[in-house]
A = this chain, B = another copy of it.
């Protein structure tokens, strides 16, 4: 009898039309758990094309009956993941939300698109019933005695004080091992607090005060301001379960009007996929919510894409990492096995399991100490040893200078990239991180940042994200009050980070054009470039605001280290800084400064 009832409800919910070899499934909202309902629709699809249409409403997705699969997810923790919408191997997938709210709970990855040929998503909001963060208002600090007192947010947050420690989120059997990464936000501006630094929080003990406040005993280098809102997201290695939307080995992705209010990692993550368009979408805290954080990591993130990646008319706020990061992957040669084979190693623990190369890919060889891309060779075969090591067999004989410690970069998997008409502000880290060698355009955006607004940082070190940019145009953007916190950075910050065996003076990034931008910021530093050739700073309108106090008063407006071919032309500067340009000997040799106003 029970079974029959379920069957009838399912029939009522799923009106499956199989028209022209496409599975079309319509859903109407109700108060139940939709996890099994969408899972059945996906698993029972008879064709390679599927379309899910959600009547506008609120849909709830719980973790219990979710599909599970071991997943390597770049820049997240690998593991056995619960996936609510597991789209794998479809020729085409369409998800029409019609303005619906999708409310998730527990540790889940909402959407996976793996090996899909065509993906479109539209008109839906993603949120969690309970966020995986802990929040408290700082009501008192005592640096001498080493404590802060906070008034914890209770409504809508899940936590408890247990044996002198704050445990959260206590959802679905999970809790973080400590408060972990912690950051202060300004309750009025909702931005990261002025001059805030990342805190790694592991209190010695926490006491409950008679008024319900918590006294957190922990020596900090710098205590957050009284009145600020402290948000904790758990420690590194535990707090990046999965992105909200994970695209891998797919092509032609179109996402329109999708808003992510919370996620257990990044917002939109795409890896090794071809052509991605995100329009009229966003990552931000729901209006009226008292959360100061939207998602745990980057709003958007692209690793070894190809084709074109476009982000247009989007809004990214209150996430705990970059607005976007467009990069490839450096692997190191662990061993040269013979004149056609090398064993390679993925270096960062969140890169393990990443498919760095496949048969037919063209790879660049980079022979340290030079960071430059040298010969190209085509992969004939990949034998995966395990999640860290693989053996690559190449078409052509390896160059004799190939050796352990050299680096490979995938030439085939790099995208052209455009970001246009977006607003990125009030979040941790950088607005934009650029590392693609191909044409990159950043235009008509409004940007305000905690750290650098636009960062260039290929790394043959820690993160091992490639690579050298070669064609970047940053134009007609408005920059407002950048580098409000963190360490000393600049609005435009070019700073490759290479392993110790690499030449620390050699040119790395090339051809960055910064023109026609409106820059309204309180700090001194606008451009700080290291090892850059062909940087053009043209026709920008720079006004130093008085909104906040200058954080590094001795810093120059423009600084160049180890650079070549610098052009500073037609810019205007209105502000108090008299220390306009600092260039080392090498950079000074080929710097051209002309037709600027207020720049001397």
Contacts and interface: CB of A to CB of B under 8 A. Distances in A.
A210 interface: no
A325 to B, nearest CB: 24
B70 A3 contact: no
Contacts of A82: 386
Contacts of A67: 386
Interface stretch (A337-345, A359-367, A433-441, A452-460): A337-345
Nearest to A4: B338
B3 A339 contact: yes
A389 B65 CA distance: 7
Nearest to A163: B202
The 7 A-B residue pairs whose C-beta atoms are closest, nearest first, are A3-B338, A68-B386, A70-B70, A204-B204, A3-B337, A177-B177, A65-B385
Interface residues of A, number: 31
A497 interface: no
A65 B337 contact: no
A118 to B, nearest CB: 28
A336 interface: yes
Interface in A303-361: 335-339, 341, 349
A67 B389 CA distance: 10
A336 B6 CA distance: 11
**Which among A336, A386, A389 has the greatest number of chain B C-beta atoms within 10 A?**
A386
Contact of A386 (B4, B6, B65, B177): B65
Interface string A141-185: 000000000000000000000000000000001000100000000
Contact of A6 (B66, B173, B337, B388): B337
A2 B78 CA distance: 34
A173 B4 CA distance: 53
Nearest to A205: B204
A177 B68 CA distance: 26
Give the interface SS of chain A, mostly helix, strand, loop or mixed: mixed
Interface string A191-210: 00000000000001100000
Given A3-B338, A3-B339, A337-B6, A70 B80 contact: yes
Interface of A: 1-4, 6, 64-68, 70, 78-80, 82, 173, 177, 204-205, 335-339, 341, 349, 385-389
A69 to B, nearest CB: 9
A338 to B, nearest CB: 3
A79 B78 CA distance: 10
Contacts of A4: 338
A338 B388 contact: no
Given A2-B338, A3-B341, A70-B70, 11 more contacts: A1-B338, A2-B336, A2-B337, A3-B337, A3-B338, A4-B338, A6-B337, A64-B388, A65-B385, A80-B387, A177-B177
A354 B473 CA distance: 55
A68 B387 contact: yes
A385 B36 CA distance: 9
Contacts of A65: 385-386, 389
Contact of A66 (B64, B339, B341, B386): B386
Nearest to A334: B64
A349 B172 CA distance: 12
Nearest to A178: B177
Contacts of A177: 177
A583 B339 CA distance: 81
A4 B340 CA distance: 12
Nearest to A165: B202
Nearest to A235: B177
Contacts of A3: 337-339, 341
A351 to B, nearest CB: 13
A297 B386 CA distance: 27
Contacts of A68: 386-387
